Amino acid sequence: MPPRQTLLNWCDQTLQPQLFKDGAPNGLQIEGNDQIRHIITAVTASQAAINHTITQGADTLLVHHGLFWRSEPTAIIGWKKQRIAALLAHNINLIGYHLPLDAHPTLGNNAQLAAKLNWQPENTFGEQNLLNIGTLPENQRTLAQLAQAIEQTLGRTPTIIGNPKQPLTRIAWCTGGAQWYFQAAIDANADVYLTGEISEAQYHLANETDTAFIAAGHHATERYGIQALGKALAQQFDVKVQFFDEHNPA
């Protein structure tokens, strides 16, 4: 059972949160047990994830999406009070890593998604180097083939903008809510850009630039980084780690 600070130090050394300008705090968000023996990993610190952590008797909830965001009101009321109260009542640590977990070259959401789909990463680019670009395998060289591979891997039908027969070679991607980076992907000469979400503007941009756009789900594209981080912690320390997933169509 490592002390909490020892585990946090390892995470900070591995993920390097000081290199990022983030809209959320990275690291410890709610202080719980000093010793860590059982971690539940989840995409988001939802009430369902917190309840599962309590049910499992775990002392730590490790997430990608924590409880505190720069754009949110600071008052601890309503649903936020309920979540925090449950964590405090059961002395559970809440640890979150946002952009550092997206960007890590092996454990990160972008790297893990590429590995799941057999893409060959080449470079990172764009804001804080959060975007990736690389080459698609031979069996994903049309938009229809790529869409089928994504659906089979993620278990979710993606939103596709483009001609299904459109030939593809180079893909740019950024997991989560990164639809606003589409222009950067176009400027990088990608044939297709994948992220988690789509807004109204991306439909027109895809049609007018002949660059395909794929929204594969915010939750669906970000399930793998937190699992990879949890497995790394289980190997590094004498801790039990389990992943909690919940259906989220967004």
Residue ranges in the chain whose pLDDT is less than 50: none
Nearest residue to 4 (alpha-carbon basis) of 24, 25, 23, 30: 30
Q: Enumerate the domain spans of the chain.
A: 4-99, 104-218
pLDDT for the residue numbered 218: 98
Supply the pLDDT for residue 128. 97
**Residue 102 is assigned to a ligand binding site:** yes
**pLDDT at 1 (0 to 100):** 86
Q: What is the CATH number of domain 4-99?
A: 3.40.1390.30
Tens digit of each residue's pLDDT (9 = 90 or more) over 142-158: 999 999 999 999 999 99
Which residues are CB-contacts of 233 (< 8 A; sequence separation ≥ 6)?
7, 10, 11, 39, 62, 239, 241
| 247 appears as a binding residue in the annotation | no
Structure tokens belonging to residue 219 = 């939750």
- Please report the pLDDT score of residue 108 as a whole number: 98
CB 176 within 8 A of CB 222: yes
**31 annotated ligand-binding residue:** no
* Domain 104-218 superfamily per CATH: NIF3 (NGG1p interacting factor 3)-like (3.40.1390.30)
What is the separation, in whole angstroms, between the first and last Cα of the chain? 36
Give the span between the Cα atoms of 115 and 50, in whole angstroms.
Answer: 29
Would you say 64 is a known binding-site residue?
yes
